[in-house]
Structure 1
Amino acid sequence: MTISTTKRVLGITAAAGLVLGLAACGQAPESNGGSDVEAVKGFKPCMVSDEGGFDDKSFNQLGFEGLTKAAEELDVELQKTESKSASDYVANLDGLVGEGCTFIVSVGFMLSEPTVNAAKANPDVQFAIIDDWADGDFDGKTDAPNIKPLVFDTAQAAFLGGYAAAAVSETGTIGTFGGGKIPPVTIFMDGFQLGAEYFNAENDADVKVLGWDVAKQDGQFTNEFKANDTAKQMAQGLLDQGADVLLPVGGPIYQSAGEAIRDSGGTAKLMGVDANVFNTDPKVQDILFTSIMKSMDVAVYDAAMEAAKGEFSADPFIGVLENKGVSLSGFNSFEDKVPADLQSTLDKISADIIAGKIKVESPSSP
């Protein structure tokens, strides 16, 4: 069965497709050891966060853990700078260059233009960026030869998450909302809805998805990546409409959704994104159903180790199910509460996605 959406114009061109086909799609994000690696003289790894901050227990934190692991194994100094808002990005990048950083990781799509500008102005500094091609002119190539994109086809893992959410829903309604209407967010929402639709088709069911319309590419967004009352109210609105599984996409906004679930006094379940939130935030373990994960820590670690050895490559890393760059976590506290055959069904669906028997297509897929 083919699940697809109408492609919208996001600069996903035929040239980009060619680059992707030739890039690292088949490369497994396996850590390459590193304990016996000696860094080139002067190697200094650094990272700049997006406005979510390094303690978001999700996106930024996971990337930072990967760079920290590399720095510790290499026994080199690691420097980080935290962005409080988008207006900090340029100054923070300039500051890291000024501090002598030789390898700088930018966390997130929102840092694309500042990272490209910094890379062009500093061709001797090596950069990596998470969740973006650094391809502002959409010609299928990064805009500077010293930037390595670390991108993920999260729709594949989110498809599994959507199927699982539909399978455990008791109300027949599940919901999602995002921090911002940007590709790294909407790709989760696309896969989530498509997975629920696949569940309906396979099980003659009618589970509804609130908060996102994959055909219209429109839905509910807080327009910021912060845990606050806006996110809590948006989650509450979905609960009020009967949703009993929530997928908040946008770093710490899951914390506000968790508060709404607790305040509602019901049995709604929370889903995490990016990291395995069951591990990163024990406070939500009792309501966290599963997490749709990206191996950003391993991707960052591997990119840093390549640069440390003097083997930096601007070839993109592309995380997919096949190379375990994206995945769905276990069911944590809900292991004994899900349908007995759910995991085996998800394993079969995953194998079919990898084999191309099920095509999961999002306009935001790399």
Structure 2
Amino acid sequence: MRRVLKLATAGAAATLVLAACGEAPTEDESNAGGDSADSSEGGDSAAASDFKACMVSDAGGFDDQSFNQSGKEGLDAAAEALDVEAVEVESQADTDYATNVAGLVDQGCSITIGVGFLLEDAIQTAAEDNPDTNFALIDSAFTDAANDNAPIELDNAKPILFNTAEASFLAGYLSAGMTETGTVATFGGLQIPSVSVFMDGFADGVAKFNEDNGADVELLGWDKEAQQGSFSGDFDNQSQGQTLTEQFISQGADIVMPVAGPVGLGAAAAAEGADGVKIVWVDSDGYLTASEYSDLMLTSVLKQIGPAVEQTVTDTVNGGFSNEPYVGTLENDGVGLAPYHDMEGDVTSTEVTGPDGETMTLDAAVEMLREQIISGDLVVESTNSPQQ
């Protein structure tokens, strides 16, 4: 909480398991499927001119101010830099996924990228049926439904994954240090791994703050051990996000992290109607993408989806497509915390007992934890973290 806390603690780090992470995709990775262009920078101009980079959103749409929007920004950036055609298809409902993906394949897309865990079946089916075309999937690997969903590799399909538990751990610690009421909260859109992984990290960050500071900050909305908590039911219903957040506020929460795409806008609307409530945004920097609520943003847990998409398209144009999973981590800057923006003065003036047992500012404590995670001294564990 926002006061000087000097109580000595055991200082033991939270026990979190970080899955092994692939490096960011590079231009010299071997081609694992589909036709390839020249491997020189920018690719062969003739090949590039025929290249079509395609993307299918989930039902949240490309204006979700979150992960779909980030994916589209990466695709558009690649198209502009490489002078290739970009085609984006927005899904209105879950039932659109297979049709939209199949339609892009029929259009002759060189790579088709699905945004979100919910597109796994559609992308995997298309990749299996079209071995000479490349695919990528954000927020999910591929599995064998007939074999208890055991992970599988497809030569022509690349998972783009993010271990957001690492960054949300920092957000949980930060939130526990900034709460005035001693209560924080989180909720998700759907209980899928790419959502629950945020909530796991957030819960462990709160627990780590309590351990370091002899505090008792309460977390509403998620029980990590039981893997049970609050979910809005989809990524569309902003009114449900507002209702959940109002319930948390009525229970004393003054910082809420919605992990629900556009549903987070409902959470922000509830926070705007309350006194002193802040929001932790996810995926993109909410201070910028949900700027109508910028004054409510404590920070955001970032997934650098745009750069990962841009690099994947670039590699494919240049003949370096690889099916090796990309896993964004704190170490490779694939995940992180956004700047504190308007809250920076409050964060930097708040003193806490840091991970080393010494009194320091809250921002310094968060930075120390970030460095410990990167070095491996603190390992962030979540059963929902991406595996390789």
Alignment partner of 1:364 is 2:372: no
Q: What residue is the counterpart of 2:372 in the other structure?
A: 352
Cα offsets for 1:44-73 (capped at 9, x unmatched): 000000010000011100011011000011
Q: What residue is the counterpart of 1:278 in the other structure?
A: 287
Q: d(CA) in 2 for partners of 1:29 and 1:311? A: 8
Alignment partner of 1:162 is 2:172: yes
Between 37-46 and 121-130, the greater mean CA deviation after superposition: 37-46
Q: d(CA) in 2 for partners of 1:89 and 1:134? A: 16
* 1:254 shift after superposition: 1.2
Q: d(CA) in 1 for partners of 2:14 and 2:365? A: 17
* 1:35 shift after superposition: 7.6
Q: d(CA) in 2 for partners of 1:342 and 1:242? A: 22
Q: What residue is the counterpart of 1:60 in the other structure?
A: 68
* 1:339 shift after superposition: 4.3
The residue type equivalent to 2:198 in the other structure is F
**Which of 195, 216, 219 is the matching residue for 2:229?**
219
> What SS class does the counterpart of residue 222 from structure 1 fall into?
coil
Say whether the 8 Å CA contact 2:239–2:263 is kept in structure 1: no
**Which of 128, 147, 157 is the matching residue for 2:157?**
147
Percent identity (aligned): 39
**Which of 266, 284, 294 is the matching residue for 1:256?**
266
Q: What residue is the counterpart of 1:334 in the other structure?
A: 343
* 1:347 shift after superposition: 1.1
Q: d(CA) in 2 for partners of 1:230 and 1:269? A: 18
Q: d(CA) in 2 for partners of 1:29 and 1:323? A: 13
The residue type equivalent to 1:325 in the other structure is G
Cα offsets for 1:307-351 (capped at 9, x unmatched): 111221101101111001110111111111224312211111011
Q: Output aligned runs, 1:17-36, within 5 Å.
A: 21=20, 24=22, 26-27=23-24, 36=42
Alignment partner of 1:4 is 2:12: no
> What SS class does the counterpart of residue 135 from structure 1 fall into?
strand
Larger Rg: 2
Q: What residue is the counterpart of 1:12 in the other structure?
A: none
Q: What residue is the counterpart of 2:352 in the other structure?
A: none
Alignment partner of 1:112 is 2:120: yes
Q: What residue is the counterpart of 2:193 in the other structure?
A: 183
* 1:359 shift after superposition: 1.7
Say whether the 8 Å CA contact 2:142–2:151 is kept in structure 1: no
Q: d(CA) in 2 for partners of 1:289 and 1:328? A: 10
**Which of 183, 198, 201 is the matching residue for 2:208?**
198
Q: Output aligned runs, 1:261-340, within 5 Å.
A: 261-264=271-274, 266-340=275-349
* 1:235 shift after superposition: 0.8
Q: What residue is the counterpart of 2:54 in the other structure?
A: 46
The residue type equivalent to 1:351 in the other structure is E
Q: d(CA) in 2 for partners of 1:283 and 1:29? A: 37
* 1:80 shift after superposition: 0.7
Say whether the 8 Å CA contact 2:55–2:112 is kept in structure 1: yes
Q: d(CA) in 2 for partners of 1:29 and 1:307? A: 10
Alignment partner of 1:239 is 2:249: yes
The residue type equivalent to 2:133 in the other structure is V
Say whether the 8 Å CA contact 1:29–1:324 is kept in structure 2: no
Gaps of 5+ in 2: 1-11, 28-39, 350-360
> What SS class does the counterpart of residue 85 from structure 2 fall into?
coil
Say whether the 8 Å CA contact 2:59–2:235 is kept in structure 1: yes
* 1:172 shift after superposition: 0.2
Gaps of 5+ in 1: 8-16
> What SS class does the counterpart of residue 333 from structure 2 fall into?
coil
* 1:227 shift after superposition: 4.1
Say whether the 8 Å CA contact 2:139–2:160 is kept in structure 1: yes
The residue type equivalent to 1:141 in the other structure is I
* 1:139 shift after superposition: 3.9
* 1:141 shift after superposition: 2.9
Q: What residue is the counterpart of 1:81 in the other structure?
A: 89
Q: What residue is the counterpart of 2:139 in the other structure?
A: 131
Say whether the 8 Å CA contact 1:29–1:295 is kept in structure 2: no
Q: d(CA) in 2 for partners of 1:277 and 1:104? A: 27
Q: How many aligned residue pairs are there?
A: 348
> What SS class does the counterpart of residue 105 from structure 1 fall into?
strand
The residue type equivalent to 2:345 in the other structure is D
Q: d(CA) in 1 for partners of 2:290 and 2:326? A: 27
Q: d(CA) in 2 for partners of 1:235 and 1:201? A: 26
Q: d(CA) in 2 for partners of 1:177 and 1:153? A: 18
